[in-house]
Amino acid sequence: MDETMASVEGTPAWIWVAFEPDLRAMLDFHAGWRGNSIDAYLFIRRPVRRYGGVPIYTDGARTPAGGPAPST
């Protein structure tokens, strides 16, 4: 998962993307005007409901968000 801020006609907008790197597939996408934790939670909830509770990696992190480091 990743998010970024973009400017739309001078107004900040946040874009969230859920991406499956092994399949090289975008699982979900959301754009919104607020970049707060509630908006992020509402976005994350959709792919979790659709694809199940699997580890979520963010910003190229090596450990899942909220979970232990994967074994090597």
Over pLDDT 90: what percentage of the chain? 10
Q: Where are the domains of the chain?
A: 2-51
**Residue 66 pLDDT > 50, yes or no?**
no
Identify the pLDDT of residue 52: 77
Identify the residue with better confidence: 64 or 1: 1
User: What span, in angstroms and rounded, lies between the C-alpha atoms of 68 and 65?
Assistant: 8
Average pLDDT, the chain: 76
18 close to 49: Cβ distance less than 8 angstroms: no
31 SS3 class? strand
**Residue 8 pLDDT > 80, yes or no?**
yes
**Residue 3 pLDDT > 70, yes or no?**
yes
